[in-house]
Amino acid sequence: MNSFIKSIGLPFLAGIAGAACWSYLEINSAQTSEIGSADSPNTEMQFTAAFRPATQADGLTLPVSFVEASQNSTESVVFIKNFSGTDPRRYSMFDYFFGTGPTQQVSTGSGVIISKDGYIITNNHVIDRAETIEVVHQKRTYSAKLVGTDKNTDIAVLKIEATNLPEIKRGNSRSLQIGEWVLAVGNPFNLTSTVTAGIVSAKERQINILGGDFPLESFIQTDAPINPGNSGGALVNIKGELVGINTAILSRTGSYTGYGFAVPVDIALKIANDLIKFGEVQKAIPGIDVVELTPELAEEMKLKSLDGVIVTHILRGGSAEKVGLQKDDVIIKIDDWKITGKGSFEEALSYFYPGSKVAVEYMRNGNLKTAQLTLQNLEGGEGVIKREFFTSVLLGAKLESVNTIEKDRLKVPYGIKITSMTRGYLRDLGFRDGFVITHINQIPAKDPKAAGKYLEEFSGKLRLEGVAPNGQPFMQSYNVK
């Protein structure tokens, strides 16, 4: 019996004593945590501080909620509908007689009100090939006029006839910091504006998705979810100020997977202002081509830093040639803007106008050099340009004269470039965007309007000469009725 009591009773009493001791230690630890100071830190206090909500007393800037930012931005975001026809050549005669034939297609996206009198900024791909554009704002539908587009940045500007619209507050993308909270605001599928939150993951991102002759990619990367229908919507900071135009997602499925990209607002608004004021973007060029500096190139050129861009081509008669820049120079700074890669190089130049003077710092053979160069326009001059265009429904294209950069690249003295193609005569002849016509029936093609009118009215044997987008020359003859 004594043995039984010892084997059962003693462990039982030890357990009670242990529990009492543990309770005492736990209470004492909690009391120590409540009165702990910086002089006597303890693990329990640090753990509690790490997981409790941040307060104003902590000196942190984490927002308690995004209500204010949402209220300041959602009313400025609109729903956009793009109406376009279907190419009849996609249908057979069987479809015409027994099917529905060509039908109208509708694509949608978002946009941001940037002025009280009805100017709206969106993505070029949202309104691409549109025959009719409608904007829906607060359940009202407006017919929209296309003011201008820029494929190089995927920005477009619309105008609706309205007054006292809720113009969005403008922020500053240059001062935006990695890790800062942002909201993606969109109006997908004509739903009430949707808001998602995240942070700025990176800046000056290049993902090689833009078209145009001079693609300008310096995206803000964010993990704020951007889903289909949000293209052209607003990226705003925690004050509800516009800091970017949501443009793209990186995804294999077409749905958001954690990588969203926005055009910085400083770039987007400069593009929009140019389109409104001049009808086209006033691009300022230094007269060089550059590439990103890679570890392999840095090793080959014996460079210690990966910052900067390498000059690969000097435009004949351009600004860079005049001040002595050479191939393989490494540009590391433009004015006060440090050049870390091609994205920052393009963004730095995007804020200037033709005629602006900029200081350029570059490395040559290990030596630091500087040059003061005057930026030029696409025609080689230093003033604002307003190029001539000719748009033809019959031809199904917009015709424009080639610029200085294109003349240098294609090795042509002049020409008319085919852009913005839709259904029409030129597509039937086999042309696509980017073809340059230099001669029509052996006559030099220099004036877009004269060339367009001639093609609209001509019948008989037509001979066209020029250069394809890949630089290959062509010469074709057609019998036009």
Of 231, 319, 344, 392, which residue is the catalytic one? 231
Give buried/exposed letters for 105-123 (b at 16+ CB in 10 A, else e).
Answer: eebbbbbbbbeeebbbbbb
Q: In whole angstroms, give the CA distance from residue 250 to residue 236.
A: 20
Place of tokens 């978002």: 110
Alpha carbon distance 435, 454 (integer Å)? 18
Q: What are the residue ranges of helices labelled H in 341-475?
A: 342-350, 404-410, 425-428, 448-457
The number of CA neighbours under 13 Å toward the Cβ of 447 is 5
Q: Catalytic one among 73, 84, 137, 154?
A: 154
Catalytic, 439? Answer: no
Catalytic choice (73, 84, 125, 193): 125
Record the tokens describing residue 200, joined without a space.
């700025």
Q: Is 154 a catalytic residue?
A: yes
Give the integer Cα–Cα distance in Å for 240 and 378. 36
CA-closest candidate to residue 404, choices 414, 389, 419, 395: 414
Residues 172, 158, 125, CA angle at the centre, nearest 5°?
80
Read off the tokens for 12. Answer: 């039982």
Strand partners, 289: 313
| Catalytic annotation present for 213 | no
Write out the catalytic residue numbers. Answer: 125, 154, 231
